[in-house]
Amino acid sequence: MMKRLVILLFGCLLTNSVRAQFLKIEDESSYDLRSRSFVYLEDKKGKLTIQDVKAVSPDQFLLNEMDVFNFGFTKSTYWLKTTVQNGTTVNELMFEIGQTNTDIVELYFDDQVQVVSDLTKFSDRAIKDPKPIFKMPIKPGQTKEVYIKVKGQDELVIPIHVSSTQTIQSKGQVRETLFGLFAGILAVMILYNLFLFLSLRTSIYFFYVINILPLFIGQSSLVGYANKFFWPNSNFWPDHAVVIFPLLSIIFGLIFMSRFINLKRNMPWSIWAINVFIAVSVIGIGFSLIGQTAIASIILNANGMVSALVIITICAVLTRRKVSSAKFVLVAWTIFLIGVILYVMRSLNILSYSLLTNYSMPIGAAIETVLLSFALADRINMLKKQREESQRLMLMEVKKNNDLTRNQNKVLEEKVKKRTEELEVMNLDLQDTLSNLKSTQGHLVEAEKMASLGQLTAGIAHEINNPINYVSSNVEPLRQDLGDILTILNGYKEFAKDSDLPEMKALLTQEEELDIDYAIKEMHELLGGIEEGAKRTSEIVTGLKNFSRTDDDEAQSADINNGIQSTITILKSEMKDIETVIELGSIPHIKCYLGKLNQVFMNLIDNAIDAIRDRYEDPTQGVLTVKTMHVDDKVVITIADNGCGMPEEVKNSIFDPFFTTKDVGKGTGLGLSITYGIMEKHNGHISVESEPNVGTTFTIELPVTSE
C-alpha cells in the first residue's frame, strides 16, 4: 500500500514530459497505438549506450504529439522511453513495433536487452513474427521502466502496440491470413499466365509473369513475410529486398505496359520516358547494393510515383484515341498509384498510420494484378475472334483461288492446243504463278491474282484484236464488191424489162417473189451492223489492253485520263442505268505505274457502284462522278457517289487489311488496303469523306514529276 502511495505522489510531482511517458495497460484485449505515451531522444552519432541514456536529464527527452513516431528518412538513432504499468490480470505483456523494415530494435527491460534486427537472420529471432515483438514479464499491478533503441537506414516509422500475448498473436494471425490471401491471388495469376505463355507462346504473358514476380516479392518484403518464408537464414535480403524488388517491379512493369499497349506504334515518342524511368530504377538498385538504402528508398518512392503518373497520362491519351488495351492499364495503374500515394503520404507523415495506409501498396498491387490479368484475358478473346475471322477469310480466299484456278485452267488448256511453243512456256509460268497463289496470304494473294488476271486479259485482248481487225478491214471491200454486183444486177434487170424472152419474164417473176429489194436493203443493214459491232469490240479490246498493261520495274510517263477511260470502259456493263458524270481535265503526263493506278481506279469505282446499288433499288437514282484536275504540282482525281455512305467508325478502318462491310463471299477486305499501299508507292495521298445516306468522295493526289 505504501508503495502505491509513493508512486502516486511521485506521479503528481512529475512535469508534462514525465506524465507523457507513463503507460498503463488496463484492457488486455486492447490493440491501440501507444506512441503518445513515450518520450524520445535523438542520438545523431549513434554512440550512446543504455547507461548514457539513463543518465540523460528527463528534460532532454522530447514529447511525442502523434499516434505514430515518424522520423522520416534519417540516419540517427532514437531512444524511446516510458514507464509501463500492468493494469490487467495477465502475467506477461508483449511489446510490438508495427514497422517490419526497421533495421535495429533493442528493448531494455529489467536490466535485460532483447534485440530484433534486419541485419541478422530471421531464424535467430526469439519470436518468429515479421514485426519486432518482445516479451515483458510484468505482473498485474507492477510498474517497470522501458527503454527502446531504434535505428533505420531509410524511413523510420515506429508504430507501437503493447498488449497481452493472446491479443498480439491473434493480430499476427489475422495479418498472416491476409498475406496468405494476397499471396494466393498473385500465385494464381502467375501460374495461370505462365500456363498461357507455355501454351500460346506469346511473349506478353511472359512479361506479365516477370512483372508480377518482383512485385509479389517486393510487397512481401514490405510487410515482412518475405523474411519469414523466402530467406529466413539470410542477413542480406531483409535489408535490401524492400528496395530492390519494388524497383525491379517498376522496370518489368514498364516493359510489360509498353508492350501490352504497343507504345512503339501508338505513341513512339513516349518510349524515351519509359527508358528514363527504367534507368533511374537501375540506379536505385545500384545504390541499394552498395549500402545506400536511404537514397535508394527516396529514388523508389519518387520514381514509382512519377512513372505511374506518366503512364496514367499516356494511357488516358491512348484511351481517347480508342486504343482498347490502354483503358485496362489506366484503371490498374490508377488504383496502384493511389496505393503508392497513400503509402508515401504516410511515410511523409501527411496521413496518419492505419491498416489502410500501411498496407495500401500490397492492396493496390493485388487489385492491379487482377485487373491486368483480366486485360490479358480480354486480349485472348480478341485474338481468338481475330484468328477465327482470319481463318474464315483464308478459307474463302482458298476457295476463290481454287475456283479461279479451275476456270483459268480450262481456258489455258484450250489455248495450249492452238498456240506455239512460246505460249506453252507462258502457260507453264502461269501454272507456277497459280501454285504460288495457293500458298501466299493477304496482300500477296491479291497482288498475284491481279497480276495473273492482267496477263490473261492482255492475252485475250491480243487474240481478239486480230480477228476483229480482219473483220473491220474487210467490211469496206465487201461493201464495194456488193455495190459492183448490184450494178450488174440492175443492168440485167433493166434489160429483162425490155426483153420479150420468156426466160427473162420468169426471172422478173422470181425477183418479185423473192423480194430482192428487201434482201439488198437487209444486206446493207447487216454490213452496217458488222461494222458497228467490230468498232465496239475494238473499243473494248483497246480498254482491256490499256487497263491490263504490265508495269515495268521503273515508273513510266503516262496519261492518267487514258487509264480512267479504260477502267470505265471495262466497268460499263456494271454502270448500266447509273448516271455517270465524267469530267477529265487537262492534266500533264506523270511518271507512274499505270497498271497499279488502274487497279486503284477499278477498286474505287467498283465500290462506288456497290454503294449506289446498296442504297437504291432503282439504280437510275444513283450518280457517279469522276473528275481529274491539275492543282499546283499535283494531279487530283476525285471519285464521288451518292450511295449509302459510311459512319465514322467504319471510315477509320477502311484501309485496314481484311476489313470489309460487304457480305461474306462478296468482298475480301483487301481492295482498299492494296489501294493505300499503291498510293504510298507513288508518294501520293488518298483521303475519304463520307456521310451515311449522303455519299462518299475519295480524293487522290499524285505528285507531278518532270519527264
- pTM of the model as a whole: 0.48
Q: Which residues does residue 129 pair with via DSSP β-bridges, in sequence order? A: none
Whether 680 has a pLDDT exceeding 90, the answer reads no
What is the distance between the alpha carbons of residues 658 and 666, in angstroms, rounded to a whole number?
Answer: 12
Tally of CB atoms within 10 A around 69: 24
Taking CA 257 as the corner, what is the angle to CA 256 and CA 261, rounded to the nearest 5 degrees?
Answer: 120
Average pLDDT over residues 622-629: 92
**Grid cell of 565 as nine digits:** 477511260
Whether 9 has a pLDDT exceeding 50, the answer reads no
**Grid cell of 49 as nine digits:** 549506450
Q: 77 vs 225, which has greater pLDDT?
A: 77
The confidence score (pLDDT) of residue 100 equals: 78
Compute the radius of gyration of the chain from its Cα atoms. Answer: 46
The confidence score (pLDDT) of residue 664 equals: 57
The confidence score (pLDDT) of residue 474 equals: 64
The confidence score (pLDDT) of residue 349 equals: 62
What is the distance between the alpha carbons of residues 587 and 561, in angstroms, rounded to a whole number?
Answer: 8
Q: Identify residue 289 by its one-letter amino acid code.
A: L
User: How would you classify residue 665: left for phi > 0, otherwise alpha for psi between -120 and 50, otherwise beta?
Assistant: left
Contact status, residue 193 vs residue 213, Cβ threshold 8 Å: no
**Range name among 76-80, 172-176, 381-385, 569-573 with the lowest pLDDT average:** 381-385
Contact status, residue 343 vs residue 314, Cβ threshold 8 Å: no
Average pLDDT over residues 552-561: 78
The confidence score (pLDDT) of residue 558 equals: 85
The confidence score (pLDDT) of residue 282 equals: 94
**Grid cell of 18 as nine digits:** 514525465
Residue 550 has what DSSP assignment?
Answer: P
**Tens-place pLDDT, residues 215-232:** 888 888 877 888 888 888
- Alpha helix segments (H runs only) across 572-689: 594-615, 648-651, 671-681
Instruction: Spell out the residues 6+ positions from residue 42 whose beta carbon is closer than 8 angstroms to its own.
Output: 62, 76, 77, 78
**Range name among 61-70, 168-177, 663-672 with the lowest pLDDT average:** 663-672
Contact status, residue 95 vs residue 162, Cβ threshold 8 Å: yes
Query: Please, what is the average pLDDT of the chain?
Result: 78
| pLDDT over 70 percentage in the chain | 77
95: three-class secondary structure by DSSP: strand
Instruction: Spell out the residues 6+ positions from residue 439 whose beta carbon is closer than 8 angstroms to its own.
Output: none
Any idea which fold 171-387 has?
Rhopdopsin 7-helix transmembrane proteins (1.20.1070)
HEC letters along 282-321: HHHHHHHHCCCHHHHHHHHHHHHHHHHHHHHHHHHHHHHC
**Range name among 177-191, 265-279, 280-294, 391-405 with the lowest pLDDT average:** 391-405
What is the distance between the alpha carbons of residues 211 and 315, in angstroms, rounded to a whole number?
Answer: 18
What is the distance between the alpha carbons of residues 21 and 147, in angstroms, rounded to a whole number?
Answer: 11
2 burial (CB, 10 Å; 0-12 / 13-18 / 19+) is exposed
CA 681 to chain CA centroid, Å, is 27
Whether 553 has a pLDDT exceeding 70, the answer reads no
The confidence score (pLDDT) of residue 467 equals: 65
Residue where the block lists cell 485520263: 561
The confidence score (pLDDT) of residue 475 equals: 64
What is the distance between the alpha carbons of residues 518 and 456, in angstroms, rounded to a whole number?
Answer: 44
Phi, psi of 591 (to 5 degrees): -80, 125
**Range name among 51-65, 499-513, 594-608 with the lowest pLDDT average:** 499-513
**Grid cell of 694 as nine digits:** 449522303
Whether 676 has a pLDDT exceeding 70, the answer reads yes
**Grid cell of 692 as nine digits:** 451515311
What is the distance between the alpha carbons of residues 411 and 426, in angstroms, rounded to a whole number?
Answer: 13
**Tens-place pLDDT, residues 301-321:** 788 878 888 888 888 888 888
**Sheet containing strand 634-641, strands side by side:** 579-584, 623-631, 634-641, 695-703, 685-691
Question: What is the CATH number that goes with domain 555-707?
Answer: 3.30.565.10
Q: Identify residue 23 by its one-letter amino acid code.
A: L
Number of H helices, E strands in the chain: 21, 19
Q: Quick one: pLDDT band at residue 463, thresholds 50, 70, 90?
A: low
Q: Quick one: pLDDT band at residue 498, thresholds 50, 70, 90?
A: low
Whether 487 has a pLDDT exceeding 60, the answer reads yes
The confidence score (pLDDT) of residue 464 equals: 65
Phi, psi of 22 (to 5 degrees): -105, 125
Average pLDDT over residues 454-476: 59
Q: 183 vs 3, which has greater pLDDT?
A: 183
Q: Quick one: pLDDT band at residue 448, thresholds 50, 70, 90?
A: very low
- Alpha helix segments (H runs only) across 515-554: 516-547
Whether 639 has a pLDDT exceeding 90, the answer reads yes
HEC letters along 45-88: CCCCCHHHHHHCCHHHCEECCCCCEEEEECCCEEEEEEEEEECC
Q: Could you tell me which of 147, 82, 156 has the C-alpha nearest to residue 118?
A: 156
Residue where the block lists cell 497498271: 595
**Range name among 61-75, 486-500, 595-609, 641-655 with the lowest pLDDT average:** 486-500
**Tens-place pLDDT, residues 128-173:** 888 899 988 888 989 999 999 998 766 788 888 899 889 888 988 8
110: three-class secondary structure by DSSP: coil
Tally of residues, the chain = 707
Whether 95 has a pLDDT exceeding 80, the answer reads yes
**Tens-place pLDDT, residues 648-668:** 888 888 887 777 777 655 666
HEC letters along 663-695: CCCCCCCCHHHHHHHHHHHCCCEEEEEEECCCE
Q: Which residues does residue 689 pair with via DSSP β-bridges, in sequence order? A: 697
Q: Quick one: pLDDT band at residue 286, thresholds 50, 70, 90?
A: very high
**Range name among 270-284, 513-527, 531-545, 606-620 with the lowest pLDDT average:** 531-545
Average pLDDT over residues 402-429: 72
Instruction: Give, for 369, the enclosing helix (H) or strand (E).
Output: helix 360-418
Q: Identify residue 509 by its one-letter amino acid code.
A: T
Q: Could you tell me which of 362, 342, 339, 366 has the C-alpha nearest to residue 352?
A: 342
Average pLDDT over residues 568-596: 85
The confidence score (pLDDT) of residue 15 equals: 36
Pairing type for strands 112-117 and 133-136 reads: unpaired
Whether 469 has a pLDDT exceeding 80, the answer reads no
**Grid cell of 384 as nine digits:** 481468338
Residue where the block lists cell 535508394: 296
Residue where the block lists cell 519527264: 707
Residue where the block lists cell 482470319: 390
Q: 271 vs 671, which has greater pLDDT?
A: 271
> What are the sequence ranges of the domains in the chain?
15-166, 171-387, 440-550, 555-707
Whether 342 has a pLDDT exceeding 50, the answer reads yes
Whether 449 has a pLDDT exceeding 50, the answer reads no
Count of alpha carbons within 13 Å of 295, Cβ hemisphere only? 12
Contact status, residue 80 vs residue 150, Cβ threshold 8 Å: yes
CATH class of domain segment(s) 15-166: mainly beta
The confidence score (pLDDT) of residue 396 equals: 82
Whether 81 has a pLDDT exceeding 80, the answer reads yes
Whether 520 has a pLDDT exceeding 50, the answer reads yes
Contact status, residue 328 vs residue 374, Cβ threshold 8 Å: yes
Q: Quick one: pLDDT band at residue 80, thresholds 50, 70, 90?
A: very high
HEC letters along 470-516: HHHHHHHHHHHHHHHHHHHHHHHHHHHHHCCCHHHHHHHHHHHHHCH
What is the distance between the alpha carbons of residues 131 and 108, in angstroms, rounded to a whole number?
Answer: 17
Instruction: Determine the angle formed by the axes of helices 516-547 and 560-570, rounding to 10 degrees.
Output: 130
What is the distance between the alpha carbons of residues 405 and 435, in angstroms, rounded to a whole number?
Answer: 9
120: three-class secondary structure by DSSP: coil
